[in-house]
């Protein structure tokens, strides 16, 4: 197991190093002069030169790359050009919104998708199964930001049960902050629910065909226990794998959904930084989001090993 995890960890590290090179190359080498991108073509030469000197763009690229990575390791990411505050503080302030949002969306999806999939599998070929499958097909076809707007239309504009957007802040009003995250988390979880319920269904159908399930039924184990204790545990393995792959979905979704609901999270920070041409923030946030995706995949690998203790032959 340790060997397997070490191999995964080193593969993730290689991907991370490559990703950092790509991010650096796209943002700081491809445009020729990053200062020109940040200030626009109208900028005066002396202002450009001042920014270049201030942000160190006048140093050679490899040197800048090394000092960026060295800074990353100590979480010293430099200052945001637009906000004037340290990027590390900006990101930390925004993560307290994005991480709970993602966690909430993931829990919603698990809590809804797994029972839905198990239910559909146990009613295979019947109306309930078709309904769940139809919902799945619909769920992956609806853009989650549109679903968010529809939720806002119904629950905020018409029923006035939730705010249509905004975030009061955990310190100001904890309950209201939690309340403000519900609609965004719901809209973020829609495609996940759709995909996970389909995966759960097909994975359950596979395990329900196994001999040990037949044995359990022959022994007279109640159907409910057959489903939950015998089949679901083994069916969980592919479900967890897919849930991990969906981490990328969550990250991408959060950028848009936070904009829909005016949430001051990392996604909104990226969006604002594009408009502000704040390359320093974009560079760090994009890499951070990549680290998050890789980290989630690593955690999933660990859960995978725990669920399926057989030795892995290939990484």
Partner 1 sequence: MSGFWSRARHHTGFLIGATLVGVVTLAALVSVFWTPHPYDDLRMALKLKPPDGSWLLGTDHRGRDVLSRIMVGAQTSITVGLIAVSIGMTVGVCLGAWAAARRGWLDELVSRFNDLLFAFPAVLMAILITSVFGASATNAILAIGIFNIPVFARVTRGAALTMWGRDFVRAASALGLGPLTITLRHVLPNVASILLVQATIQFATAILAEAGLSYLGLGAQPPVPSWGRMLYDAQTYLYDAPGLAIWPGLAIAITVLGLNMLGDGLRDLFDPRLRLMRVG
Q: Binder to partner 1 among 49, 72, 82, 149 (CB under 8 A)? A: 149
Select 245 or 303, whichever has its Cβ closest to partner 1. Answer: 245
Ordered DSSP codes for the chain: -HHHHHHHHHHHHHHHHHHHHHHHIIIIITTS-HHHHHH-TT--HHHHHHHHHHHTTTS-HHHHHHHHHHHHHTT---B-TTT-SBHHHHHHHHHHHHHHHHHHHHHHHHHHHHHHHHHHHHTTTSHHHHHHHHHHHHHTTS-HHHHHHHHIIIIIIIS--S-SS----TTT-HHHHHHHHHHHHHHHHHHHHHHHHHHHHHHHHHHHTSHHHHHHHHTT--HHHIIIIIIHHHHHHHHHHHHHHTHHHHHHHHHHHHHHTT--SHHHHHHHHHHHT-HHHHHHHHHHHHHHHHHHHHHHHHHHHHH--SPPS--
Least gap, CB of 227 to partner 1 (angstroms): 25
Site string for partner 1, 72-111 (x = CB under 8 A): ----------------------------------------
Q: Binder to partner 1 among 41, 44, 46, 141 (CB under 8 A)? A: 141
Interface with partner 1 by CB under 8 A: which range of 52-60, 63-71, 172-180, 270-278?
Answer: 270-278
**Position 273 contacts partner 1 (CB under 8 A):** yes
> Which 195-254 residues touch partner 1, going by CB under 8 A?
195, 245, 248-249, 251-252
Q: Binder to partner 1 among 4, 5, 7, 37 (CB under 8 A)? A: 37
Q: Binder to partner 1 among 5, 49, 142, 221 (CB under 8 A)? A: 142
Select 109 or 227, whichever has its Cβ closest to partner 1. Answer: 109
Residues that bind partner 1 (CB under 8 A): 11, 14-16, 18-19, 22-23, 26-27, 30-31, 37, 137-138, 140-143, 145-146, 149-150, 152-153, 157, 164, 191, 195, 245, 248-249, 251-252, 255-256, 259-260, 270-271, 273-274, 277, 279, 282, 286, 289-290, 293-294
């Amino acid at each position: 197991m340790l060997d397997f995890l070490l191999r995964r960890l080193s593969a993730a590290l290689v991907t991370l190093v490559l990703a950092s090179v790509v991010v650096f190359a796209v943002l700081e080498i491809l445009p020729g002069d990053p200062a020109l991108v940040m200030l626009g073509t109208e900028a005066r030469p002396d202002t450009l030169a001042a920014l270049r000197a201030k942000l160190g763009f006048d140093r050679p690229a490899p040197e800048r790359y090394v000092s960026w990575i060295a800074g990353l390791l100590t979480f010293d990411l430099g200052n945001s050009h637009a906000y004037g505050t340290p990027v590390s503080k900006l990101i930390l302030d925004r993560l307290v919104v994005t991480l709970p949002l993602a966690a909430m969306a993931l829990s919603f999806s698990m809590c809804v998708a797994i029972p839905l999939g198990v239910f559909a599998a146990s009613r295979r070929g019947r109306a309930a199964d078709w309904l769940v499958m139809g919902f799945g097909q619909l769920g992956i076809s609806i853009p989650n930001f549109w679903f968010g707007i529809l939720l806002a239309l119904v629950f905020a504009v018409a029923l006035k049960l939730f705010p249509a957007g905004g975030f009061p802040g955990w310190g100001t009003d904890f309950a209201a902050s939690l309340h403000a995250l519900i609609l965004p988390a719901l809209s973020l979880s829609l495609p996940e629910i759709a995909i996970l319920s389909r995966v759960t269904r097909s994975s359950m159908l596979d395990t329900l065909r196994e001999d040990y399930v037949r044995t359990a039924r022959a022994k007279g184990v109640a159907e409910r226990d057959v489903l939950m204790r015998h089949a679901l545990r083994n069916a969980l393995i592919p479900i967890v794998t897919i849930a991990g792959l969906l981490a990328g979905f969550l990250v991408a979704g959060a950028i848009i959904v936070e904009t829909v609901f005016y949430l001051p999270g990392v996604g909104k920070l990226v969006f604002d930084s594009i408009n502000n041409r704040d390359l320093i923030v974009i560079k760090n946030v994009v890499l951070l989001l990549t680290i998050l995706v890789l980290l989630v995949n690593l955690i999933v690998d660990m859960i995978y090993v725990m669920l399926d203790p057989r030795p892995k032959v290939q990484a």
